[in-house]
Structure formats: structure tokens, C-alpha cells
Structure 1
Amino acid sequence: MVSLLDRVRGQPAPQPNEPEPEPEEFYKEMTLQEHLEELRTRLIYALLAVAVGFVIGLALAFPTMRLIIRMSGIERLYAITPTESFITYTKVALYLGIGFAMPMIVYQLVRFLAPGLTRKEKRYLYRALPFVSIMFVAGVAFAFFVLVPRALSFLSHFGGSVFEAQFRAEEVVSFYMTLLLWVGVVFELPVVIFILAKLGIVSAKRLASLRKFAILIIAVAAALITPTPDPFNMFLVAAPMYLLYELGVLLARFAKPV
């Protein structure tokens, strides 16, 4: 029923057969201790997912390294220290485990944030989770098959008349896996922007007005993500990031706030 205050304010009463709008309800307010317990629970689930992914990664580490060698055109990876082979193998398995667990990590993050959202906001956020996972996989695939092989090929042949490239296994794997992980995260940017626009936190007009600052932030992020300081690899990371930002601005134009 419509309250007397609503009638005084001039709000129209619902028709007899028209259902009243569903109230936007939050979960009950949580204490600091309850928030910390919830955070601990979500971290435990995320770490368990990484552990399961790590076990799978142990079986796929050597095939992944052989694929890296074949795609990048490097003849062989060199281990300088006695433990470098084992450490590199473990590092590849860990990166693979994080990649496999990324959908669960994002899901646990959403579950942690859910008490602060309304029912409608949670509904849109959960609907976006599959697209977040798809974009992450697309970013990893782009980095694995296009971005990193070209970067390694360029670096291995740069100054070939003077230098002989003999890359250490640990450095190549760190270079490869760091870019894979961060490019996968960056590819989620359009979906994140769309969600923020849907929730009314940002708007396409506001994002467009901040384009110059976005370019600066993208350049800094590309410099941090890229393990080497050369401008070629920074451009290979920064260019897709800017295109994804523009895609996010375009999607924000079609996002009607809830």
C-alpha cells in the first residue's frame, strides 16, 4: 500500500492489478568482526582454488614451457643455478594455478562485496561474472599467442650481429607469465567499466572527459606490467589497454543505471 506521505508528495498510487515495486533491501549490517570473518572465509576459498589449480599446473608446466619455446622461436632455455630448473617449473605451475582459479577469485571478491549492494545491484553483478571470465581468458589467449611471442622474437633477434641471445629459463618464464596474468586482468576492463556505469558510479561522459588522465595511467601501468623497460614492449601492452578503455566508454553509453 502507498503511505499517506507518498500521497502528500504527489506520487501516483499503483493500479489495482499492478504489483508494487520490489523494495531495495540490503543484508543486515555487519560488525567489524563479522567483516573480518567473512574476509577470512573468502580468502580461504580463493586460496583453495589456487591450490587446486596449482596441482593441475604441475601436470601442465613442462608442456607449457615447451609451447613457449616453440612459439617464441627460442632454441632453448638455460638454467644457470642448480635450483633454477625446479624453481622455474614450480613458478609456471603457480601461475597456471592462479589463472585457473581466477574465476573463483573474482567470485569470492563479489561475494565479499555483496552485503553492501542492493538486490538489483547484486543481480547485475552476478550476471557479469561469466563475461569477466571470458574476457580474462581472451586476454590470456591474446598475450600467449600474439603479444608475448612477438615481444620475445623481437628481443631475441635484436642486435643479432652483436649479441647472442641465451635467455635464462626463470627470466623467460617470469616475462611470459607476468604478461599473461596482467593482460588477462586488463582485458576485464570493459566489463568492469560497464558494471560501474550500470551501478551509476561512473558515466560515459565522465570517462570521456578523463581520457587524457586515462592515457597517463595506462602508460604507467604498461611500464609496471612490462618486465623490460624498452618502449616496444610497453607499446604492445599499452595499445590494447587503451583500446579496451575506449570499448568500456562505448559500453558505458548503453548502460542504463539501475
Structure 2
Amino acid sequence: MADEAAGETFISHLVELRDRLVKAVIGVAIVCIALLAWPGPAQIYDYLAAPMLASLPVGAKMIATGISAPFLVPMKVTLVLALILSLPWVFYQAWAFVAPGLYTHEKRLVLPLVISSSLLFIAGVAFCYFFVFGRVFHFITHFAPTSIAVMPDIENYLDFVISMCLAFGATFEVPVVVVILVRMGIVSVEKLKSFRPYIIVGAFVIAAVVTPPDVVSQLALAVPMWLLFELGLLLAPVFVRVSRAPEEHA
């Protein structure tokens, strides 16, 4: 009987996981369809390419070397944007799946982390687009010799933009990582503070690896990473206190 009950419980968890995944996919699909309807893939890509075009000579355009690239690349951009905008819904489905197995004090920690993770990732992508791209592209295009005509390929540009956005989005998750590490008892706030010099050096090393070889983009990634680490140190004790189990208060 115990084996049958365990089997039924396992199957019910699989069914619940399937339902949550389907709901997450449906949410992404709805956002994607809405973006396809308005403003449309072409306009979305034009908006994404605006920082690059602004750094090029007046009248210059990007090029497409693949036959299907003018169609596929804007579609990929639309899908990626739909995924980013749907992150709160996707993370909510993940939280809803694990929530029934959590205690009340644990739920007080998970839900804020789900919301903050979504908002921080979107904030990192927005920071990259509005603050970093313009400066990076301006540096790259003006550094090129006058004998070179800078005409970026749209596929290469998309790969670069996605990698940069993912890097900044992941970087902005640093406070969440700090809170989770402290709450799980893996490391204390005091220990993390003692690691501060190494964290700062590590931030600049990571920035040097994932960004173009220019000082502007490296500083634009390393400095926020360090400041967000400090923010995590401030928030971690609050989350630990709020999510503490009743017996831990005793």
C-alpha cells in the first residue's frame, strides 16, 4: 500500500509539473503572439538595432549575409523578448509548483525571491540596452581604422546582443544568490564581508571575460556586480529573519 501511495504521489507531481510547464509555455506564446501583432518583428529588431545604427555614419545600415536572415533574425528577437517579458509568469509557475511542499516561513522567502529574480533580470537587460550598448558601439565603431567600413551582420549582432543581455541579466541576480547562500547556511554575512576584496577582483575578471575588450563595458558590468553584492549583504539578514521557522525564534 505504501508503494502504491508513493507511486500515486510521484505521478501526481509529474502531472502537476506538466501542467505548470504547459501554463508557462502558453504564457510565453501569448506574449510572443502579442508582439508579433504589435509592434511586429521588424519594428522590434529596428528598436534593438538602434544603438548600433546610432554609432554608424549617417545613412549606414546593417547587412544580412544569409538568405533567410532578414526573416529569421527578427523572429528570434521577438521570441527572446517574449521570454524576457514572460519571466515573472514563468517564475511564478515554478513557485506554484514547489509552494505546496513548503512551510509558511519558507513561502515568505520564496515568493519575494521569485519576484525579485524576475525584476532584477529584466533590470539587467534594460541597463545593458539603455546604458551600455550605446557606449560600447560608439567605442568600437570609432576605434576602427578609416580604411574599414563598419557594416555589422544582423546575425552576428543578434548573437552579441543576446550574450551581453544574458551576462547583465545574470549579473543583476547577485543579490538573490547572496540571500540564498546566507539563508541556507552555506556562508554567513560576516564571511562574505571578509571575502569582499576577492569579490571585487572576481567581478572585474568576469567582466573582462564576458564583455568586449574595452574599459567602458567592463566597468559597466563590474561596478554594478560589486554594488549588487553589497545590496545582497544588506538584504540577507532581513530575509533570514523574516523566513525563520517558529522553532528558530525560540
Q: TM class by shorter-chain length? A: 0.7 to 0.9
Q: Which residue of 2 aligns with 1:138?
A: 123
Match among 102, 106, 113 for residue 91 of structure 2: 106
CA spacing shift, 1:114–1:182, aligned 2, 3 Å = farther
Q: What is the number of residues matched between the two proteins?
A: 229
- The answer as to 2:221 corresponding to 1:243 is no
Contact 1:57–1:92 (Cα < 8 Å) also in 2? no
2:35 is the alignment partner of 1:50: no
Rg larger in 1 or in 2? 1
Q: 1:105 to 1:206 in 2, by over 3 A?
A: farther
Question: Structure 1, unaligned stretches of length 5 or more?
Answer: 1-27
**What is the distance in 1 between the residues matched to 2:169 and 2:6?**
35
| TM-score normalized by the length of structure 2 | 0.75
Mind listing any 5+ residue stretches in structure 2 that lack a counterpart?
245-250
Following superposition of structure 1 onto structure 2, how do residues 39-78 of structure 1 map, counting pairs within 5 Å?
A: 39-58=17-36, 59-60=38-39, 61-72=41-52, 73=54, 74=56, 75-78=60-63
Bigger proportion of residues as helix: 2
Task: Tell me how far 1:200 sits from its aligned partner.
Answer: 5.0
The range that moved more, 67-76 or 152-161, is 67-76
Q: Can you list the C-alpha shifts for 1:108-155, whole angstroms capped at 9, x where unaligned?
A: 222233344311111232244443333233222211110122112211
* 1:165 to 2:143 alignment: no
Alignment of 1:190-229 (within 5 A): 190-194=175-179, 197-198=182-183, 200=185, 202-211=187-196, 214-215=199-200, 218=203, 222=207, 225-226=210-211, 228=212
Residue by residue, what CA displacement relative to the aligned partner does 1:201-235 show, whole Å, maximum 9, x if unpaired? 54312322444664576456546654x5x254444
Call closer, same or farther: CA 1:252–1:147 in 2, change over 3 Å.
same
Aligned CA-pair RMSD: 3.1
Distance 1:219 1:41, change over 3 A: farther
TM-score where L is the length of structure 1: 0.73
Give the C-alpha shift of residue 65 in structure 1: 2.5
Query: Which of 53, 77, 87 is the matching residue for 1:92?
Result: 77
Q: Percent identical across equivalent pairs?
A: 33
How far apart are the structure 2 equivalents of 1:231 and 1:112? 43
1:82 to 1:67, Cα distance in 2 relative to 1, 3 A:
same
Deviations 1:165-188 (A, max 9, x none): 110011112222332244234323
Letter in 2 for 1:89: P
